[in-house]
Each structure stands twice: as structure tokens, then as C-alpha cells.
């Protein structure tokens, strides 16, 4: 492999210094410190570390990620929730949508993995308001899929899941801008 080919591989590798610089996302303040700390903890792990040290490291990473997720939602008037929901529920901005099946009514929840890795769900007054996914590879048909589901997908800077490796995608109802508190339909 030539030196030029090796340099191109290093630049295109997810998480590489060049990729992080190319993302050109350097938030200030607490958010920037939290993202830098997540990156430091992720890249600082070595195979020789003891299990307990790794566990403590992952607990800190998850706490920082949760804090950033809560702050993200708070800026939009949303509450981070542990209860998930499906794309149809989000498109209709409901609490939950049930599908009629051969065995009765079941909650609709299916998101394709390629569109929903490392998901965080948000609600307003119990209704689905938005979902954030952190994807390693953004599908080429993401916008088409979202439109079919009645959603709008926005690619945002500053993924807190694995900074420099993942891309943050925000899903909202396509009609969310129509009104009501935090975009909810009246």
C-alpha cells in the first residue's frame, strides 16, 4: 500500500482525528466537555484493564450520554422517556398505536435497525414527540423511508453515543411544525 493510499485510509476511518476535525463540531461549555470526556473514555480503554475498571468507565459514559440526551430534549420542551414507541406512533403523535393482528391488538413498535440504532425516545404530555438515533452508517434511503412513515429525519451534529463514529438522526412527525405545544397537534 502506497503512502498516499495509507493516508486516505486513515482519513476515512470513522473516529480518526481527521474525521473528527472534518465534522467541524466543537461545542463550547458543558456539552463540549461531556463529548470530549465520552471520546476520551471510549478511546482510553485497553485490553489489559480489569473488568471493574471497565465497568466504572462504561457507567460514566452512560451517565454522560443520558445527561446530554436529557439536555437535548429539554431544549425542545421534551422529556426523555424509557418507554419506546414505533414510527407510526411518532407520526401520529400519540401515546401508543395498536395494530390489529391475528392474536389481538399489539403495540406498534418496529423501527428498522438501520434507522434506529442507539435510540433515545422523547415525549410531551405522554405523547410521542421525537426519537434520536445514533447511526454508524446512514442509509441512502433514509429520507424516503421517513417520508413513507409520515416522519421527517434530520441529521444533526454532535452525536453523544460514540463521538466521531456515529451520526445523530432526529425523527419528528412530518406535520410537527403545525402547532400546539412543542409541535403537537391540537
Q: What pLDDT is attached to residue 9? A: 44
> What pTM was estimated for this model as a whole?
0.67
Q: Which of 117, 126, 113 is nearest to 78 (CA)?
A: 126
Q: What pLDDT is attached to residue 131? A: 95
Residue 142, pLDDT above cutoff 50 = yes
Which has more confidence, 39 or 91? Answer: 91
Domain that holds residue 154: 3-183
Residue 23, pLDDT above cutoff 70 = no
Least confident of 14-18, 59-63, 163-167: 14-18
Q: How confident is the model at residue 51 (pLDDT cuts 50, 70, 90)?
A: low
Residues 6+ positions from 185 with CB-CB distance below 8 Å: 93, 175, 178, 179
Least confident of 24-28, 65-69, 86-90: 24-28
**HEC readout, 15-30:** CCHHHHHHHCCCCCHH
Q: What pLDDT is attached to residue 98? A: 53
How many domains does the chain contain in total? 1
Grid cell in block for residue 166: 456515529
Q: How confident is the model at residue 12 (pLDDT cuts 50, 70, 90)?
A: very low
Question: Do 168 and 42 form a contact (C-beta atoms < 8 A)?
Answer: no
Distance CA 151, CA 92 (A): 9
Amino acid at each position: 500500500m502506497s503512502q498516499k493510499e495509507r493516508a486516505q485510509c486513515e482519513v476515512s476511518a470513522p473516529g480518526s482525528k481527521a474525521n473528527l476535525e472534518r465534522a467541524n463540531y466543537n461545542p463550547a461549555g458543558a456539552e463540549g466537555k461531556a463529548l470530549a470526556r465520552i471520546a476520551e473514555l471510549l478511546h482510553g480503554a485497553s485490553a489489559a484493564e480489569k473488568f471493574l475498571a471497565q465497568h466504572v468507565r462504561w457507567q460514566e459514559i452512560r451517565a454522560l450520554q443520558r445527561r446530554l440526551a436529557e439536555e437535548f430534549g429539554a431544549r425542545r420542551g421534551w422529556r426523555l422517556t424509557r418507554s419506546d414507541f414505533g414510527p407510526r406512533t411518532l407520526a401520529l403523535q400519540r401515546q401508543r398505536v395498536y395494530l390489529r393482528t391475528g392474536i389481538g391488538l399489539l403495540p406498534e413498535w418496529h423501527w428498522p435497525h438501520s434507522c434506529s440504532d442507539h435510540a433515545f425516545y422523547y415525549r410531551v404530555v405522554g405523547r410521542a414527540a421525537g426519537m434520536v438515533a445514533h447511526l454508524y452508517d446512514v442509509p441512502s434511503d433514509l429520507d424516503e423511508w421517513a417520508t413513507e412513515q409520515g416522519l421527517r429525519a434530520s441529521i444533526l451534529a454532535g452525536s453523544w453515543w460514540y463521538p466521531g463514529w456515529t451520526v445523530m438522526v432526529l425523527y419528528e412527525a412530518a406535520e410537527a411544525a403545525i402547532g400546539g405545544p412543542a409541535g403537537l397537534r391540537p
